Structure formats: C-alpha cells, structure tokens
A and B are shown apart, each in its own frame.
Chain A
Amino acid sequence: MKPRHLWARSPKSVLFSLGACAALVVACSSSEEATPTRTLTPTPVGADGGSADAASEADPCTTETGCFSCEPVTLTNFLNACTEGQCAPFDNVARLPLYEAGKPLPPIP
C-alpha cells in the first residue's frame, strides 16, 4: 500500500485553507464550538497565508470564522464547509514539537 497524503491531492487549495484557517481561532459555528483541548495559538501571519480578514477579502467563500460558505467542490471545501456540527481544533504548532508550519513532516524513522 502506498499512503497518500490528503495534502498531496490539491496543494493550492489545501495551503490556502490551511493558511486562512490556521491564523484564526478556529471555529465551526462559534456558538456551538466544543471546548478545545488546548487554547489555539494563532499561527504567525504570513507563515501559511494571512489573517482571517485577508482570507475573507481574498476569498468571499471563507467566513470570518474560517468555514467555507459556498457550494463545496473540492475535498478541502467539504472538510471546511460551514456546519452546525461541533468541532474541536487541534493546534499543531503549539502541541507538536517536531511540527514546523509550512514545512514537510519529517520522514518516518
């Protein structure tokens, strides 16, 4: 079996959404957000694409809370679609010492 990273499928859209969303205190529907395991530390602007405002200006389909509000087409659109469902963000930057935003993950030993 050859594992395939999701991010290898549509890198532009993935990076865009990653950048837009990582800069936010990520939310689904803010009123129904589940308590996160740990408070999200916003990724420094520029590392992955910009702030929420910048994302909204650049992409009218991305809301202030970071969800995709238009008709989803790509996998990333569906994964980030606005929903009433609750979610719990996992902050890779804050919680994974070996993770570096914007860089490939280290190879499996």
Chain B
Amino acid sequence: MWTGRGLGAAILFFAGTAGAAPCADLVPPPIYGLGGSATKPLFAKLASKLAGATPALNVVYQAPGACVGVNGLFGGTKITGTASYWDAAGTELQCTLPDSGVDVDFASSGNSAVSCPGVSAIPAGFGDFLGPVNAFTLIVPNASSQTSISAEAAYFVFGFGQQGQAAPWVDESQIFRRDANSAAQLFIALNTGVPAEKFKGIDTKTNAGTVTSVASSTKPEAAIGLVSGEVADANRDKVRVLAFQAPGQRCGFWPDSTATSFDKKSVRDGQYAIWAPLHFFSKVGADKKPVKPEVAKWIGYFTGEVEAPSGVNVLEAEIKSGTVPRCAMNVWRETDIGPITKLVPEKPCGCYFESVATGKTSCTACTGNEQCSAATPICRSGFCEAR
C-alpha cells in the first residue's frame, strides 16, 4: 500500500517507468480528475498539502486538455494510462490506472463548459463550481524585445500566420498554439475572433510544452505562444508575458501592474481582459452538491464552502500558484470574456493577497479587530479589511 505522505520517495523511484505504482493503491483511495494542464501548478500546491494533512486526501489528475476533461466527465469516459499525483513534499509523481479504466470524479477547466466543442449546456446531474481566477496570456521568450500585442495583431498572427504580416510573428514554425480543447486557446479565440479550431502554428499539446517551445526557440524575436497565467508565472525565468490590448482598449496591460510584478492588479481591477474563474465539474445529488464526499471536500476547498484541514492554507496555495481568490477580486464576470461588473467581496482578502503575492502590503497587520481602525475595522487573514 502506498501513501501520498510516507512513500512518495519510493514511488518516485518508479515514476516515469512501466512499473509506476497503481493509483488505486494510494492510501486513502484517491479521487480522479481530468482536465487542463493550466491548473497543475495550483493542484500541485494544494494536493500536496492535502496528501500530508489529517485526514489526508489524495488527488490523481490527468491533463489532456480542459475540454477533454469536461467532455470526458459528461460523457462517462473512463481514464486509463498514467496520471499525476502529488506527495506531501510537493513532488509530482506518476501512477498507473487500470486497463479497464476508472471513472472521472471531477473535471477542471479554465473556461466554462459551453465554450467547449460539443457542449451546449451542462447535463442534468452535473454541477459547475467556481474556483479562483486565472489569467490567460500570450508569451514570448525572454530574449524577445516585444512588450505588447493587440487583439487585432493576435488575430493576424494566429488566424493568418505568415500571411498576416504581423511582424515579428510571421514565421509559422515559431507560432506555438494548442487545440480547440485548450482553455488557453479558447480564451485567445474568444478575445481575438479567431475560431479555436483554426489557429495557425505548431500544437505544443500542453501548457508546459508551449513554455518549452517558446523558451527554446532559436528565433526568439519571432516566437510567440499562449499559456495559462499560472504556468507563465511559474516560468518567468524562461518566458515573458506580453501586455494585451483588447479591442477598444487604449493600451495593452499585463495581468500585473508591471511586466515584472506578481500583484495581478490589472486582473483584479479589470484592465487585463483575458481572465476567468476556474471551473470544477462533478456529478451532483438533489442538493446540488458533489455526490462523492471526498470530491465535495476537494471542490469545497476552492469554493470556500468547506474548511480545509489544519495546516492547509487554501488561499495561500491559490495565490502562490498565480491565481486570484474571488475574495481578492474587485471585479467579476459570469461568462467567458463576458461583461465585467464591480465586485465587493463579502469577506475581502485583498490585503492578504497583496502580502502573499508581492511580499508587502500597505494594509495594517492584525491579530484581532481591536487593532484595526474605523476605516478597515475587520481583521481577516492577518490584515485589517473594510468588511
């Protein structure tokens, strides 16, 4: 029997080999997820904490694409082959699924279900739960001199390739795309008008593949790719995010207040256009909650409806992975690239977000309300907030 906590090193020995341990042997038995690779940095941080928590929770995840997950869950597809899980030390490991396959317990996606090919509505018996906000980004190698791109430029780059004449991105061997099942590609499609199935360039298969292709390009000025913001943030030593200028926008903005910061200010305030909350899908009962108790816990940690075990800080995991908890958002939207409205979180965590994401905040630190002023009277997550 394997445990995510104690025998990670032993399983690491087998990782990547035909002898990878069966996923079903994990203790406690894992829940199985299917979806996009965009969420893996977040899952790595949270699932590893949960693997070492009391009670423990093991999460096995396969990441063939956001919409593959959505369609797989809704269609009752069983997953086979190998999948990832994380041990308590935060190491991503591989385990083997049975040849007969296992049912998908949850799907995760950066986009809504109806943006996926073949999905016109969420089927009866399934629920859609929202997690933290993730940005989607266009990236270039660190050696590129480019700093921004407009929606119109991206239209010519990804819709026309070389014929688009959108210099310097005219070499189709240096345009790195995904497919129509990728949340990143869906969002660039929605924001530019290029049909998701008609992107020019080379399919890199995963977010990580895009980073590798862009970063290792021998023509850095010509290289461009699209990835989840989480993945871009985790690879800033290799790639740079371009400021994005939406149609009708006066200027291009980065997800953060500067090209090099991590504060997600332009996402939180609505100047960066390409963002959405993560979606979790699962079978639900009559109460509209996930049927499986362990799945309800896992998803509940992200929605805030379930309190995490002692020692597991969900907000911190979300922030450190490059996502923005809803409580730190000042704007919101209900649909993929839909209208934006002002958001006043009931229990704000903007101060905590700034503290974790940037290492500093102008907010007053506190351990209780008595340390807070009238303007920010409530002590939340160690800082005085307005509510």
Contact = CB atoms under 8 A, between A and B. Distances in A.
Interface in A62-83: 66-67, 71-72, 74-76, 78-81, 83
Interface string A4-42: 111101000111011001001011100000111100000
A80 B250 contact: yes
A4 B194 CA distance: 9
Contacts, number: 170
B263 to A, nearest CB: 9
A51 to B, nearest CB: 14
B251 A6 contact: no
B271 A81 contact: yes
A85 B267 CA distance: 11
A75 B340 contact: yes
A1 B115 contact: yes
B221 to A, nearest CB: 11
Interface in B119-156: 145-153, 155-156
B246 interface: yes
A99 B257 CA distance: 29
Interface string B263-276: 00110011101000
A109 B252 CA distance: 27
B195 A1 contact: yes
Given A79-B246, A95-B167, A90 B148 contact: yes
A83 B265 CA distance: 9
A89 B251 contact: yes
B252 A89 contact: yes
Chain B residues touching A, range: 35 or more
A109 to B, nearest CB: 6
Interface in B224-282: 243, 245-254, 256-259, 265-266, 269-271, 273
Contact of A90 (B190, B252, B256, B266): B252
Contacts of B186: 1
B248 A14 contact: yes
Contacts of B192: 3
Contacts of A7: 247-248
Interface in A84-100: 84-90, 92, 95-99
Contact of A98 (B148, B165, B265): B165
A80 B249 contact: yes
Contacts of A109: 159-160, 163
Nearest to A78: B270
Interface of B: 115-117, 145-153, 155-156, 159-160, 163-167, 180, 186, 189-198, 243, 245-254, 256-259, 265-266, 269-271, 273, 331, 337, 339-340, 342
Interface of A: 1, 3-7, 9, 13-15, 17-18, 21, 24, 26-28, 34-37, 66-67, 71-72, 74-76, 78-81, 83-90, 92, 95-99, 105, 108-109
Given A72-B270, A83-B269, A96-B166, 8 more contacts: A3-B192, A4-B193, A6-B191, A14-B248, A17-B248, A79-B273, A85-B254, A92-B150
